[in-house]
Chain A
């Protein structure tokens, strides 16, 4: 158990819909990263938040957005869903106080768009 929690574990929805994925980082970790893992693209970095502020952006579509709240949990919002958005979505958190750059991954949310 990494200490990172994600809900829901599974999500099935229809094209055009909007969903929200939730992540709670490890206690004390200020950074949250979101990654998408699809069959044809592997693990792709989407976005990072650090202590409530957006820090880095990767291959994130304009239909997707995220935020980090004062209690450090984060939400990833996916809208106008398309079939190709079906994937595993992972969040990871990191402790910036030590030398290690290790990111601790949650169990993921499996999104299926029908």
Chain B
């Protein structure tokens, strides 16, 4: 069949505002979650991770929230900057063995100066 491009959800924010990117994961047995940032033409770059025994973890300007009840993950970016413009992927470890990652479809963040 004919291939169609992924229509990524897009989030557009003003520079300086906070951004919240959401992700639903699939496997209730997953015990490790990770957020990656991918800029155009580059490989995914680690932002922050969280294990299932936590519901919140903070990094520099970023916070990840995990809600296992509804299998939901969110990434909050404080004081969003133009350099934050990229596609953001959440990933889960799925099978708890070996560490293969199952990626979500991604969200494109656009920061307006």
Q: Considering the chains assembled together, what is the distance between the CA atoms of A102 and B106 in angstroms? A: 18
B93: A residues at CB distance < 8 A: 101
Shortest distance from the beta carbon of A5 to any chain B beta carbon, whole Å: 11
Q: Please report the C-alpha to C-alpha distance between residue A94 and residue B100 in the assembled complex, in whole angstroms.
A: 10
CB-based contact A108/B43 at 8 Å: yes
- Residues B49 and A100 in contact, CB atoms below 8 Å apart: yes
Chain B 31-60 interface 0/1 with A at a Cβ cutoff of 8 Å (1 = within): 010101000001111100100000000000
The answer for the CA separation of A91 and B38 in the assembled complex, in Å, is: 14
Chain A interface, number of residues (Cβ within 8 angstroms): 32
**Complex CA–CA separation, A1 to B59 (angstroms):** 20
Residues facing B in A74-114 (CB within 8 A) are: 84, 90, 92, 94, 96, 100-108
A-B CB pair tally, cutoff 8 Å:
74
CB <8 Å contact, B43 and A103: no
Given contacts A100-B49, A104-B46, contact A45 B5 (CB under 8 A): no
The interface on chain B, measured as residues whose beta carbon lies within 8 A of the other chain's beta carbons, has a size of 27
Q: Contact between B100 and A45 (Cβ–Cβ < 8 Å)?
A: yes
How distant is the Cα of A44 from the Cα of B104 in the complex, in angstroms?
10
Interface contact A48-B99, CB-CB below 8 Å: yes
> In the complex, how many angstroms separate the beta carbon of B8 from the nearest chain A beta carbon?
9
Q: 1/0 per position for A38-51, CB-CB distance to B under 8 A?
A: 11111111001010
Q: Which residues on A sit within 8 Å (CB–CB) of B5? A: 39-40
| B17 contacts chain A at the CB level, 8 A cutoff | no
Across-interface contacts of B44 in A (CB, < 8 A): 43, 90, 92, 105
Query: Could you list 7 further interchain pairs (A-B, Cβ under 8 angstroms) beyond the known A40-B5, A40-B6, A43-B44?
Result: A33-B99, A39-B6, A43-B89, A92-B43, A100-B49, A105-B44, A108-B43
Complex A-B: 16 CB contacts under 8 Å:
A2-B43, A40-B3, A41-B6, A42-B6, A42-B103, A43-B89, A43-B106, A48-B98, A56-B95, A58-B100, A92-B44, A94-B99, A101-B93, A102-B49, A103-B46, A105-B44
